[in-house]
Amino acid sequence: MATLEIKDLHVEVIDEENQTAKEILKGVNLSMKSGEIHAIMGPNGTGKSTLSQTIMGQSAYHITQGDILLDGESIIELPVDERARRGLFLAMQYPAEIQGVTNAEFLRAAMNARRTTDNQISVMNFLKELDKNLDLLDMSEAMTERYLNEGFSGGEKKRNEILQLLMIKPTFALLDEIDSGLDIDALKVVSKGVNAMRGANFGSLIITHYQRLLNYIVPDVVHIMMDGRIVKTGDASLALRLEKEGYAGLRDALNLDVALVDEN
Ligand code: ADP
Ligand code: MG
């Protein structure tokens, strides 16, 4: 069993305009095990993406206090690629485009990076695995010969993130707004991909603004984040309660003294 623990995490970013540090995460605590699906919900601007980017090790996010442990070992000094090698995966809210690298080349390199040099995946096995997952996600083979994310539509990018997930088979996947901009059919396909990963050796932290996704990927644990902190943790019913009461309603019901940046 693998574990991912976030302990009293405080994170700052530098505000480009006036070059001052701004605290975004103000003491986040969260523990998860492989086999579990956790959801984080919260209003816009509350620090959800900051949390996922910090776990993955993006350099813009400065940890001023706290720690992140993978299987009990601190990873906050490790570069992004080493965290990926150890089993972390981030599907970004806005996936980057990479020129000159085809999707298939990227996938194979990413899969091999998680394997030892004497155990690299063969071309045949790679193609077999690729075919199977393209089928599952209703994607065309042509997508894999295109440069990574270049000219992909919003929906294609999201599907492609899930293709990466199925191919790379991380231990913990951070899925940041994989539902944003998807129509209902694409949402079902993306959910099918994540649900296909479910199992004892896989854990996921699903970040979403809306409850809708959680009808398709039912979480074991739901965390509500407001103003840089997790303010409430519960089971899947918490997401339904949020849907009914809204962020402002829930804040008031919990008697929280926090500002909501965006209450939509
Ligand atoms: P959420 O994902 O919950 O909508 P974010 O984590 O994207 O929230 O953003 C939280 C706050 O941190 C926002 O005020 C945002 O402008 C700021 N922020 C996030 N990333 C950066 C960055 N790289 N540089 C400067 N400010 C940032
Ligand atoms: Mg975000």
In this structure, are residues 176 and 40 in contact, taking their beta carbons and an 8 Å threshold?
no
Q: Which two tokens stand for residue 221?
A: 């644990």
How would residue 262 be classed by pLDDT, with cut points 50, 70 and 90? low
Residue 31 — pLDDT band, cuts 50, 70, 90?
very high
Is 243 part of a structural domain of the chain? yes
| Residue of the CA atom closest to atom 21 of ligand 1 | 13
C-alpha–C-alpha distance, residues 185 and 135, integer Å: 15
Partner residues linked to 90 by β-bridges: 174
CA 226 to chain centre: 18
In a domain, 228, yes or no: yes
3-state secondary structure 203-222: EEEEEECCCCHHHHCCCCEE
For the segment 64-100, what is each residue's pLDDT rounded down to a tens digit? 999 999 999 999 999 999 999 999 999 987 888 888 8
Q: Is residue 261 part of a domain?
A: no
Nearest CA to ligand 1 atom 24: 13
Residue 175 within a domain: yes
Q: Looking at the CA of 40, name the nearest ligand.
A: 1
Instruction: Return the ligand number nearest the Cα of 226.
Output: 1
Mean pLDDT of 208-223: 94
Q: What is the CATH number of the domain that holds 91?
A: 3.40.50.300
Establish if 127 belongs to a structural domain.
no
Query: What number is the average pLDDT over the span 33-37?
Result: 98
d(CA 6, CA 175): 16
Interval between CA 205 and ligand 1 midpoint (Å):
18
Domain count, the chain: 1
- Tell which one of 15, 24, 209 to mutate to probe ligand 1, the residue whose CB is within 8 A of the most ligand atoms: 24
On whether residue 8 sits in a domain, the answer given is yes
Is the model's pLDDT at 47 over the cut of 70? yes
Q: Which residues line ligand 1 (CB under 6 A)?
A: 13, 24, 42, 44-50, 60
Nearest ligand by distance to the CA of 59:
1
Put residue 152 in one of left, alpha, beta given phi > 0 → left and psi -120 to 50 → alpha.
Answer: beta
Residue 56 located in a structural domain: yes
Q: How far is the CA of 125 from the centre of ligand 2 (A)?
A: 36
pLDDT for 260: 79
Segment holding 110, helix H or strand E: helix 103-113
Tell me which ligand sits closest to the C-alpha of residue 92. Answer: 2
Model confidence over 131-183: pLDDT tens digits? 999 999 999 999 999 988 888 888 888 899 999 999 999 999 999 999 988 88
Return the best residue to mutate from 19, 44, 50 for the ligand 1 pocket (most ligand atoms within 8 A of CB): 50
Neighbours of 93 (CB within 10 A): 16
- Alpha-carbon radius of gyration of the chain: 18
Q: How far is the CA of 2 from the centre of ligand 1 (A)?
A: 29
List CB-based neighbours of ion ligand 2 within 5 Å.
Answer: 48-49, 93
Q: DSSP labels for 164-186?
A: HHHHH--SEEEEESTTTT--HHH
Name the nearest CA neighbour of 178 among 169, 166, 197, 191. Answer: 191
Could you count the other beta carbons within 10 Å of the beta carbon of residue 128? 12
Average pLDDT, the chain: 93
53: nearest Cα among 114, 113, 20, 94:
94
E-assigned strand segments in the chain? 3-15, 20-33, 37-41, 62-70, 73-74, 88-91, 172-176, 203-208, 221-226, 229-234
Residue-range definition of the domain harbouring residue 179? 3-98+170-253
Within a domain: residue 85?
Answer: yes
Quote the pLDDT of residue 100: 86
Ligand 1 atom nearest 44 alpha carbon:
4
